[in-house]
Amino acid sequence: MTTNVTSSGAEDRLAHSAAAHGTKPLWSSRGEWQVNDHAEVPHAWRWEELRGDLSLAAEVVPMEMAERRALLFCNPGLGGLPFMTGTMLGAYQITRPGERCPVHSHTASASRFLLEGEGGYTNVNGEKCVLSRGDLVMTPRGTFHDHGNDGDQDVVWVDILDMPLAITLNSNTFSNEYVEAPEGGGDPVPARFQREHVASGYSTRVYGTGGLRPRFVNDERGASSPQFVYEWAQTEERLNALRDFDGDPHDGILLEFVNPISGESAMPTLGFSMQLIRPGERLAPHRHSSSTTYVVLRGHGETELGGETLTWAENDVFVLPAWTEHAHRNGSASDDAILYSVSDRPALERLGWYREEAV
């Protein structure tokens, strides 16, 4: 006589017993967990809707309490977590004239992309980086940073960090234990803000020309770009110089901000790009395993995104989830559209998991 182990009674007994002992049968449960049901979905955050909330936050929440006045973008696919994608956290952050945000550091790498106001700055490891609209500043993993607004209007920028990735990999740490020697010298003491240890504009002066590397400088900035600031004025010049090329069928005239020493992505986990979509231009659809967050610097348009049409206008933010078909289109026949974007492609490439296909 043989025992029929597939009989339902025996199977139920097995399932119960196996579960009670802390296991789950692979052969019958695969469909439940081999796909990510809690992944990011296409979504847009509208400047027109959120700018008022930023002003309200600035009115009612003093900086002493907020420390950083950021409204974190919540992707509706992520169950209420304040993340844009499985790998990226993003926010609009508002700083009022004269305000300063206290110094801190974290394992997560961060970036800011300025949308509104003059005189906003972030001090990264002692380098005060003053930003104008369209400027990008890097805050690589582990760097101490504090922000402020020396101008006379509100400053608003978009933060993008790889913090969800750092959390997933159990590596997210935070510190506000910053010490530095007093102005006149002596032993380091705790400080709420960094002094400027480096000349303002240092990293663009040293690295910002591209193709010409000062051999007498050797900044140790880990796997991230030694250039902290990428200025819009220079990016715009490059985009205009390249606008008559065919460009990529899917990405058009896209420039990646790279580490000027290695030529690799500006951060080991995240890649940063600026993309010109010319008047009337319609890009071809494709998809890839990386996810991307977009900020509209200029113009308006539409993106076919996983079978839906998502419209966008200046200063809007939107998410392209992993492996989702997409095609961008400039909505104007006469004006440029310019998209800033951050992608987790470098992280996936380093793991050997990046793939893409035209559709």
Please give the residue ranges that form the binding site for ligand GTQ (CB under 6 A): 68, 70, 91, 93, 106, 110, 145, 147, 159, 161
**Which residue number, 128 or 145, has a Cβ lying nearer to ligand GTQ?**
145
**Which residue number, 147 or 345, has a Cβ lying nearer to ligand GTQ?**
147
Find the shortest distance in angstroms from Cβ 146 to ligand GTQ: 8
**Which residue number, 127 or 159, has a Cβ lying nearer to ligand GTQ?**
159
Residues contacting 58, CB < 8 A, separation 6+: 69, 94, 96, 154
Cβ(285)–Cβ(356) below 8 Å = no
**Which residue number, 106 or 326, has a Cβ lying nearer to ligand GTQ?**
106
Adjacent-strand bridge partners of 112: 137, 159
Distances (CA, A) of 294 to 28, 164, 215, 238: 39, 17, 35, 20
Find the shortest distance in angstroms from Cβ 359 to ligand GTQ: 33
Find the shortest distance in angstroms from Cβ 160 to ligand GTQ: 9
**Which residue number, 68 or 298, has a Cβ lying nearer to ligand GTQ?**
68
**Which residue number, 330 or 341, has a Cβ lying nearer to ligand GTQ?**
341
DSSP 3-state assignment of 104? strand
One-letter identity of residue 274: M
DSSP letter string, 147-205: EEE-SSS-EEEEEEE-HHHHHHTT---EE---EE--TT--S-EE-SS----B-TTHHHH
DSSP 3-state assignment of 43? strand
Find the shortest distance in angstroms from Cβ 356 to ligand GTQ: 29
Find the shortest distance in angstroms from Cβ 131 to ligand GTQ: 13
Distances (CA, A) of 304 to 22, 43, 244, 328, 329: 44, 12, 25, 6, 8
Find the shortest distance in angstroms from Cβ 147 to ligand GTQ: 6
